[in-house]
Structure 1
Amino acid sequence: MTARIDHIPTAADAETPQPEDDVTPEAASTAGTLFWIFAAFALILLPFATVAGKRPLGWIQEPWSWPFIVLVFALVGGGGLAFDYLRLRRNPGFSVKANEAFAGMGRSFAYAAAFLAFIGGVWLIGFTLASILFMQALYYMSGLRGAKWSLIGLVVTVAILLAFRVGLGIWFPLPPIMLLFPDWVGNALGEYL
């Protein structure tokens, strides 16, 4: 008995997007509501997170204008998911189906936490040291361990630092950790950290 093939795959099939697994409405509304809450929180913080531009170029080029526009669109567009969440959360089995929105997200959360630690590290220990630690942590977390990968991470970090410092001329203020050392250490190394 031979199997009958109705369709022979072609090159065009490889370019056609294949449908993903179905996402339950509970999972979609939960994830969408979390993003909606984040957008609302960001919109509330927007006046405190931006300052007025130094040149009078009109409201459209003010630092707050485009984040404001995008966040308002996000709130309006995501409002339906927030209403779905409120409607669906009373259904039996909602929490089990809603948890599907976070299936397999553990590694993503770990990378996000590492990035947040990097951002805090830039303020505390300086861009150079924070970048070196962050890059080494990323290589380790992704399974690239060993001297070879540590060296590659260091070379990549140096390339990024040169791009920022030399290529773009971006320098950061002296990090607070330099206050723990004598003044000559901060004067000699501070601008490179």
Structure 2
Amino acid sequence: MKKLLLSLSFITIILLGCENEGLDGKNSLIDMTIENAGENCSNEGIKIVSGIDLNGNNVLEENEIQETEYICNGNNASLDFSSYVVKLSQSGTNVPSGIVIKNDLSLTITWVRESSGSYLGTFDMPLDLTKTIATATPPPSIRNVYLQFVNDNSIRVKTEPYNNIYQFTDTWNDLILEIKTFN
């Protein structure tokens, strides 16, 4: 009986000690972009920046960047790839429309609006996803763009505005989508 009372007292002390929750900390953020050939990477690469989200807006701003790293392609690296680059715009419940900037892939994408801020692009031919990447440059009104290859014939694009986290939005202009397939 003494052991049971002692055990219950110990559990009560532990539970009472866990009543108060601590304060949430600030989020760490990482952002990756394509680094064009130049001072940092002589033969293109990827720029990775990281830091603490000091103002809590889920955007890594210049004054919050604490570290910058580059992963560069080697000097003799073969950058043999084909790409599709399009400037997309979307309004209301309409499907996105775009101006194709570059199309070495000879790719055609047909867009469907799945729901608010979610769009599915279907390719007219399959892509080898083991050799393909997609990047997006959001317009100023969009906080984040989420890209997902659904399969080798389609990509999903979701747009998140600055004013609502995890609430996807319609109506934006000048989203740049790039799909690269390396040979």
Structure-2-length-normalised TM-score: 0.25
**Greater Rg over alpha carbons, structure:** 1
Task: Give the structure-1-normalised TM-score.
Answer: 0.24
